[in-house]
């Protein structure tokens, strides 16, 4: 039973399209995150939600909109996709906010053509 | 500006050799985590070090936190192909995690 699951695992799309990535955790954690890992493998935090409330919103284009319907789910919607959005997006969760140990999903590889 | 520097960026060695990976910063961290990431997967926690000078062992892996809590090292003894992966360190600073850029390790049989 996967602790943090995200779908889809692979996503190939054209520039200008809109796409969503979904994430669910069954760990009972309060805090969820979206990270972006670029081609150089650097992990950069994008957003963090604690109990459905946005607590971290790094400098990310407003084409990226997270949504947390409940504390077990955190989805990421991306409008007007650009070539530079190609990356692997990781969902993660922690028991609470703060620098706790992260449990990551397997990642969603987005390729924008 | 990278707050947490990892070195080397890439390391390819033969099975059976020893190696050390470093994680350095000018910032003082309240704790530091090491993760390993395999291709197609997310990072998985290996260890958390909290106290300055702390040493933790995980089978053939030895982790050390610097006395001043600004740096850390990961030493692998008798590396095996299964150790291949991307090793990431992350320091806790002001209730946020600061990530290093990772060390890509390849162990050749």
Angle made by CA atoms A76, A81, A85, in degrees to the nearest 5: 75
Question: Is the pLDDT reported for residue B76 higher than 70?
Answer: yes
In angstroms, rounded to a whole number, what is the distance separating the alpha carbons of residues A106 and A108?
A: 7
A104 touches chain B (CB under 8 A): yes
* pLDDT tens-digit readout, A5-59: 999 999 999 999 999 999 999 999 999 999 999 988 889 999 999 888 888 778 8
pLDDT recorded at residue B2: 58
Q: What is the mean pLDDT of chain A?
A: 93
The shortest CB-CB distance from A43 to any of B31, B95, B99 is to B99
What are the CA-CA distances from residue B79 to residues A54, B17, B18, B82, B106 (Å)?
Answer: 42, 6, 6, 8, 10
Query: What is the domain-level CATH number for residue B65?
Result: 2.60.40.10
Q: Report all structural domains of chain A as residue ranges with CATH numbers, in order of start.
A: 4-112 (2.60.40.10)
Inter-chain residue contact A40 with B101, CB threshold 8 Å: yes
Residue of chain A whose alpha carbon sits nearest to that of B93? A99
Inter-chain residue contact B95 with A105, CB threshold 8 Å: no
pLDDT recorded at residue A99: 62
Residues of A in contact with B88 (CB under 8 A): 43
Q: What is the mean pLDDT of chain B?
A: 95
Inter-chain residue contact B101 with A98, CB threshold 8 Å: no
Give the count of domains, chain B.
1
How far from each other are the two terminal CA atoms of chain A, in whole angstroms?
34
The sign of the torsion formed by the CA atoms of A107, A111, A112, B1 equals positive
Parent domain of B22:
5-108
Using alpha carbons, select from B6, B15, B78 the residue that is nearest to residue B36. B6
């Amino acid at each position: 039973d996967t602790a943090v699951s995200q779908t889809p695992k692979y996503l190939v799309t054209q520039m200008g399209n809109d796409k969503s990535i979904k994430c669910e955790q069954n760990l009972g954690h309060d805090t969820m995150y979206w990270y972006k890992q670029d081609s150089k493998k650097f992990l950069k935090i994008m957003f963090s939600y604690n109990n459905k409330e946005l607590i971290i919103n790094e400098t990310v284009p407003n084409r990226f909109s997270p949504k947390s319907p409940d504390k077990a789910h955190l989805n990421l919607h991306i409008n007007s996709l650009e070539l530079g959005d190609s990356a692997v997006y990781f969902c993660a969760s922690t028991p609470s906010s703060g620098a706790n140990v992260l449990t990551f999903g397997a990642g969603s590889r987005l390729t924008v053509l | 500006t990278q707050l947490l520097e990892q070195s080397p960026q890439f390391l390819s060695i033969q099975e059976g050799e020893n190696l050390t990976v470093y994680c350095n910063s000018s910032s003082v961290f309240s704790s530091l985590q090491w993760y390993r990431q395999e291709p197609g997967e997310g990072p998985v926690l290996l260890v958390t070090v909290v106290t300055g000078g702390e040493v933790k062992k995980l089978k053939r892996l030895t982790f050390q936190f610097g006395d001043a809590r600004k740096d850390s090292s990961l030493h692998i003894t008798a590396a095996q192909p299964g150790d291949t992966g991307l090793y990431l360190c992350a320091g806790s600073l002001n209730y946020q995690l600061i990530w290093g850029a990772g060390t890509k390790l390849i162990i050749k049989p």
